[in-house]
């Protein structure tokens, strides 16, 4: 399942902040991570944060678009219902 994500690096703590609607009306997951946006560390931290929040291995979440942008698209390798259920709790 593809998941639109906004990553906010250099935050005080790493946390999934919730969902927001972007300018085009699409749903985006907002993640704050403590890592700086250097060398892909913020992207890796966001992938790990999403995986931990979903209860799946880190290898089940990968960035497929936007590696150097704050707006990313993650591919999550688990049942879409599991992701939708988790998003509904945010």
pLDDT tens digits for range 47-64: 999 999 999 999 999 999
Q: Which contiguous run of DSSP H or E holds residue 7?
A: strand 2-8
Q: Is 10 helix (H, G, I), strand (E, B) or coil?
A: coil
pLDDT, tens digit (0-9, with 9 covering 90-100), for 77-89: 999 999 999 999 9
The DSSP-derived string for 14-62 is -EEEEEEE-TTS-EEEEEE-SS-SSTTHHHHHHHHHHHHHHTS-GGGEE
Give the range of the structural domain holding residue 66, as residue numbers without chain letter: 2-88
Residue tagged 């892909």 (tokens): 40
Q: CATH number for the domain including 19?
A: 3.30.1200.10
pTM: 0.92
Tally of domains in the chain: 1
């Amino acid at each position: 399942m593809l998941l639109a994500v906004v990553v906010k690096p250099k935050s005080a703590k790493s946390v999934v902040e919730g969902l927001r609607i972007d300018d085009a009306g699409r749903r985006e997951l907002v993640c704050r991570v403590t890592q700086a946006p250097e060398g892909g560390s913020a992207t890796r931290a966001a992938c790990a944060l999403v995986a931990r929040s979903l209860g799946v291995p880190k290898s089940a979440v990968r960035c497929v678009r936007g590696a150097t942008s704050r707006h990313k698209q993650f591919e999550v390798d688990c049942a879409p219902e599991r992701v939708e259920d988790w998003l509904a709790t945010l």
